[in-house]
Chains A and B, each alone.
Chain A
């Protein structure tokens, strides 16, 4: 895996996600870009690298999403980091069983991993809302919005599949690079 190229892709996805959220959705359902990128990396990268990629990409997402707690804008660090870590772990676990050349496999994994990540975020934030009375949090509203956004993530993943022929070599990702770690252990 080429860490520099992966960081660059993550950086671009992070900027794109913020821009699209502002331009298209205005705060409602909007596609995720970082999460499909994490899933894509987790499909091919060594397990250790895949998990760290998920954690750091999630941490960056946390740092960019400021929440109003009471009347104060505060950083809530952790939910996305752990959610994306869970998505990366899920992907590295099932990647041995999937046909990596199929677009449907990519989309399916992206939606499942996205759903898992968003459920993790919702669970953590819900637990936090029990202790933090100033946090405005609607469990079902957030869960619905995030799961629909995860479906959008499937479409983004299809886009990544189309670009995979030139993206994967640049990022140093291929089937051989995933032949170490858990994927190998599972086989």
Chain B
């Protein structure tokens, strides 16, 4: 037998098999041969694999990380999560501020109201007439007596009753010496939930109820009694409910501050004469507030030229 010729023929055959497409089934003809080779090689290969595993350090599967890298990535992920939450909180805070400022502008168009930056409340002082909040900021930043202190821009805290160079004193609306307020309750507006200062407004019922409010004993709430407006059918008067919003509508308060939020209706009681008695609790407790914004009408000529809008105090 000429082995050179056999070798040539086998080589040509293998060359054809090498480039023949799979659908011709050349490979499947040789499958038993493959099983035989695998059967022969497998035991030794497995034994060598065991040997390698024993000698070499454990190999990580492709695409996995070392423990240190995984730990570092976990830390980075946590940091990124924390930053994301922090940014979300900041965005929410800014959105709330924008909303509040927009509401203030809507409430009081046409007034040149100056507004300080939030001023820290240094503490509570008591005098013969009641309780006063000591606020850091006085005539040095042009705060006049009679200015209005608010929290979160729209929640009424009280009125400035005294100023000195560095501080001013605010009498909270719940203080016994604060006097009466007139408030209004709208049917289409209520607090989102207990303990929150966010409001929910609905479209539809525009009815309202006027309430005369007086500080209750203890200085935490205001008691109000409903009054029926002239020309309004008593049958159509709004029935107050818990959670409704009470806004300022007093003639003896500056016009620019009307519709600030006094608080939430926390209790409703009936009187024998058919009126309703409501207990109103400020959404932000005036005696526990940590900072307030002081608002006052700017009487300077420059402010009157511009017309409306609030500006920060220097």
Please list the residues of chain A having a beta carbon within 8 angstroms of any beta carbon in chain B: 11-12, 14-16, 18-20, 22-24, 26-27, 48, 51-52, 55, 59-60, 63-64, 66, 69-70, 72, 74-79, 81-82, 85, 124-125, 127-128, 131-132, 134-135
9-residue interface stretch from B36-44, B74-82, B152-160, B187-195: B36-44
Decide yes or no whether B21 CB sits under 8 A from chain A: yes
Decide yes or no whether B124 CB sits under 8 A from chain A: no
With A19-B48, A55-B7, A124-B15: A76-B27 Cβ-Cβ less than 8 Å = yes
Cβ contact within 8 Å between A48 and B3: yes
Cβ contact within 8 Å between B27 and A16: no
A109 to B143, CA, bound (A): 96
Decide yes or no whether B199 CB sits under 8 A from chain A: no
With A74-B27, A77-B14, A82-B15: A63-B33 Cβ-Cβ less than 8 Å = yes
Q: What residue of chain B has the Cβ atom nearest to residue A78's Cβ?
A: B18
Cβ contact within 8 Å between A77 and B18: yes
A73 to B14, CA, bound (A): 19
Decide yes or no whether B34 CB sits under 8 A from chain A: yes
* A to B CB contacts below 8 Å, 15 in the list: A12-B44, A14-B41, A18-B41, A19-B49, A48-B3, A55-B14, A64-B41, A69-B22, A74-B22, A75-B30, A75-B34, A77-B18, A77-B26, A78-B14, A81-B14
Decide yes or no whether B200 CB sits under 8 A from chain A: no
A165 smallest CB distance to B (angstroms): 24
Q: Given A24-B52, A63-B37, A72-B22, 6 more contacts at CB 8 Å?
A: A19-B51, A23-B52, A27-B62, A52-B3, A70-B22, A82-B11
Q: What residue of chain B has the Cβ atom nearest to residue A69's Cβ?
A: B22
A85 to B18, CA, bound (A): 14
Cβ contact within 8 Å between B48 and A16: yes
Please list the residues of chain B having a beta carbon within 8 angstroms of any beta carbon in chain A: 3-4, 7, 10-11, 14-23, 26-28, 30-31, 33-34, 37-38, 40-41, 44-45, 48-49, 51-53, 56, 59, 62
Q: Hey, which chain A residues are within 8 Å of B33, CB to CB?
A: 63
Cβ contact within 8 Å between B14 and A128: no
Cβ contact within 8 Å between B18 and A79: yes
Cβ contact within 8 Å between A22 and B49: yes
With A15-B41, A55-B11: A128-B18 Cβ-Cβ less than 8 Å = yes
Cβ contact within 8 Å between A15 and B18: no
Cβ contact within 8 Å between B14 and A15: no
A17 smallest CB distance to B (angstroms): 9
A28 to B246, CA, bound (A): 74
